[in-house]
Structure 1
């Protein structure tokens, strides 16, 4: 077998699922349509009493006036999430104590507030409002997430009603941004403007959010529920790791519509979603989405929270039964068979300068690991408008895309964005690096992420200067095992944990290698491999990445255009150390 054959075989054999159906148990799983709706744990009890939508009135009328000490504990640790609010981590608590302290001991009296941005679609007027809230109420904090949201920190409950008023005045919201609900709908960042898109998914995203966000009947799901919709051939919404996803495809007889995927999610038991093999017309998308969501509500496992995701139900049922239940019990009609979307030929992060269908241009830029600030966002709004635009998008890759730029303004805009730290032509290391919130704010984290990843990027840009990388190397840095930064789907994924190096326990990361999704220009989406004993200290990211990238460049089969992921799956463990 040649090197190129080995690489291709490794890609095709890459693991796609790590979730087994639950073992048969004499205990009920809490599936409403099978076991009844009696709550089987404390979390299910409070959700049945009040699923969280009504807590807004208490926040506005009681808690914002009485302050943090007046908040009911169940509201604080449960229902607040439905309105995009989590308590953030108290400063100074090291990662070794994350698993030993209670939430009350870990939390500060400040909140993370998640602004819901469905499809990533923003105007400069909305951006200014977010910037103003960040500056006035959030100590200038602002992070662009890999779910197309913007997260603010240091928010006091006293200020939440005013923040909501400002957001809603410009058409933004925090409704169901967190919690056991349908969360933000990921959408193609170039919807409606890309010259090569198959269909603009904006009407489908709008119908879903208008009809169902805030719907009481869907506000008590077993756990979180994630959605993605794209009409772009780059498949730019990481559809394989969402609970439900719609990917544009052309049917030979029925025209343009969507390929329906279900059951993807990562965390500690990763599973890539699967196609149901159906073709969904654009006017059927909202109903199909509603049907899948109701299946999760009615049949999802509720007894154990670590099994309460749609991926576990799909693992038990399989795609054939899932499709039949969707059609028979929820849609009332059969969906036709449909083809799979072809492999993407371009990257899905949209970084760089690209011509729109109307002759203007969109410019995709890279803030390092998604970290920006209120003042930066305010300046960005000014710069965008000064160059003839009023629209931008967030992306599932912690990037920003500025739309509608006249040709003559492209290069001046690129220069001013670069001065803000938003590069349209970044290094391939900077372009491919994302990081979760980390120990700075997250109560689940064990290790710092944003600061460590930023330092590594800046260091690696110097170390690898002069080396020609064949493609962006995706480096995903996560502060705990829960994979908010998608570590199993990166070229190099770093999972935060305490590690022992030279006999001393220090903050560090377990290494995953060779993962990837369709939007990252991979032959076959798959999960990364782990190498036994391969750990990296928190301050050693740049050392490790430089070492393994240099080895990749030395060993790769350039004739077959072998990717890092292909090489990582065929390489001997010695090469990956």
Structure 2
């Protein structure tokens, strides 16, 4: 998609031509033959100096993104939307979890052609930051109340473990912050060129089979480094994930840094270090550095990696300003050496890789905790909830003896600490709210991004399309329900940016405008097939999906296409062959 480039800090999807995968510079040649310096400066602070090479870097140096809070509270909230400066509106507001949302009524065919002010509404999307996806019942009720009072009862559980609200008026933002912060929540660095929310295992501290609880590490990183002015000007966003659960439930292969629980034969339980993952139009799975990290070292190692990104990350071109590009050029050996020599001052021991998981990490259903109580994983439809639903969920939790809930990277909710004798009543009550612990295959495994309803970058609608598709597939494939695999992921994205992780799904759909066969155009999707991550139990290091040349599906034809594809898979698979394995090796004629 040819993106509008006037927005100075938009996350550009055009990292390389679509369909090409990022590979290290000079791959296949001896390391010494790789180019050591680009013909033009890349804006690396430790190589090229800190002089800004584009407007995005200029405005960040002129005034840090965190500083905009004072103007929001003391000026913009009083004077209203029209008083907001351009660099604050399209830049620094993001450091506090605020984006302008899409103006209603603008079709996807105009997304790439309109100016930002033509696309955006006078209302904001707000992300509530929840590191590790943790919410107390008091926090849940606070978020629910904000949604009902200030957000027209909107709320989405995102695949970054945030809760996202809409229809936020800048005049209400100070009061929203006051309410969030009164219960220990915030929107600090929920967006922007900073460290975004830290993904954490939803079962941290409660799972019977947990290797270690990552909560102390997540809390230490948050307390020491989130909101630190020394780290509030990165080349672009920085995504983190930490888990100690054997299901590897934080999609570690697609984060800038991940710490995955392992047991070292000499040093005991700790973390395996992964670096340089990311999707968008230029997907790249993270790589292991082969280093073992003790729990007490983890926060410092995280700090070292983010400073490498700050100091060596590419800043000249925004479409190359992600850590994955640096890792591709350096390779894991050099990255580890720089981390140890320049940022840690000590060597990390070699360590083992994580053991291949045997189950998915979505945690849906009823499961026993290590203390004898139960956690209940609930599935909304593609993450769409509401303030009123969350408020009623809090009431159900209280009646069931629970005071804690976690969000997941799969747009799910996991309620903790349910008493055994109250599980059945709780599950039944949640079902009445539209939150099921026993979802169909398609309801459980379908995700969707925000889409054209609110997102300025979207080309097609996603949430309602996904909901309709799930309901239709439940009917169309009812006769083969007992033959379906235990997992079949369907990820639906409204543009090429892959917020819904289309390249890592069994069936990934990328929104675009396609020919309607009658000389016009219609909303549709390009198809990606056979992707998966370790916590999908496909391959220990994951695999990106393939695209079928010329295969595009209209938005109103998704269910028909998926039904045809799934029936072909059931007919042609080899024994218990997974869908992803079959789709990666099948002839193209079987996939259309």
- Asked if Structure 1 and Structure 2 have the same fold, meaning a TM-score greater than 0.5 normalized by the shorter chain, the answer is yes
Query: Retained in 2: the 8 A contact 1:19–1:269?
Result: no
**Does the 8 A contact of 1:438 with 1:446 survive in 2?**
yes
Alignment partner of 1:26 is 2:39: yes
Shift of 1:406: 1.1
Secondary structure of 1:457's partner?
Answer: helix
Q: 2:572 — aligned with what?
A: 555
Gaps of 5+ in 1: 1-14
Distance between the aligned counterparts of 2:458 and 2:546, measured in 1? 22
**Structure 1 contact 498–506 (Cα < 8 Å) conserved:** yes
Aligned partner of 1:372 in structure 2 is 385
Report how far residue 20 of structure 1 moved: 4.3
CA drift of 1:540 comes to 1.1
CA–CA distance in structure 2, aligned partners of residues 175 and 523 of structure 1: 35
**How far apart, CA to CA, are the structure 2 residues paired with 1:16 and 1:79?**
32
Contact residue 155 and residue 166 of structure 2 kept, 8 A: yes
| Map 1:233-382 → 2, pairs under 5 A | 233-382=246-395
Deviation at 1:557, TM superposition (A): 1.3
Q: 1:200 aligns with which of 195, 209, 213?
A: 213
Corresponding position of 1:490: 505
**Structure 2 Cα separation of the partners of residues 526 and 161 of structure 1:** 44
Question: Which residue does the alignment assign to 2:54?
Answer: 41
Judge conservation of contact 2:151–2:165 (CA < 8 Å) in 1: yes
8 Å contact 1:118–1:187 — kept in the other structure? yes
1:140 pairs with one of 147, 150, 153: 153
Question: Are 2:462 and 1:449 aligned?
Answer: yes
| CA 1:347–1:16: 2 relative to 1, 3 Å | farther
Mapped partners of 1:97, 1:554: distance in 2:
42
- What is the CA–CA distance in structure 1 between the aligned matches of 2:167 and 2:215, rounded to whole Å? 33
Listed as ranges, the gaps of 5+ residues in structure 2 are: 1-18, 27-34
Task: Report the Cα offset of residue 129 of structure 1.
Answer: 0.5
TM-score, L = length of structure 1: 0.96
Q: Secondary structure at the match of 2:425?
A: helix
Alpha carbons 2:22, 2:328 under 8 Å: kept: no
Q: CA contact under 8 A between 1:257 and 1:282: conserved in structure 2?
A: yes
SS at match of 2:65: coil
Q: Which residue of 2 aligns with 1:501?
A: 516
Which residue does 2:547 correspond to in 1? 530
Q: What is the SS of the residue equivalent to 1:53? A: helix
1:575 lines up with 2:590 in the alignment:
yes
| CA distance in structure 2 between the partners assigned to 1:423 and 1:522 by the alignment | 26
Q: 2:183: which partner in 1? A: 170
* Cα-Cα RMSD: 1.2
SS at match of 1:493: strand
User: 2: distance between equivalents of 1:314 and 1:51?
Assistant: 27
Partner SS for 2:75: helix
CA distance in 1, matches of 2:567, 2:45: 53
Residues 497 and 507 in structure 1, CA contact (< 8 A), matched pair in contact too: yes
Please give the secondary structure, in 2, of the residue aligned with 1:466.
helix
Partner of 1:3: none
> Are positions 1:510 and 2:526 aligned together?
yes
Structure 2 residue aligned with 1:390: 403
**Count of residue pairs brought into register by the alignment:** 561
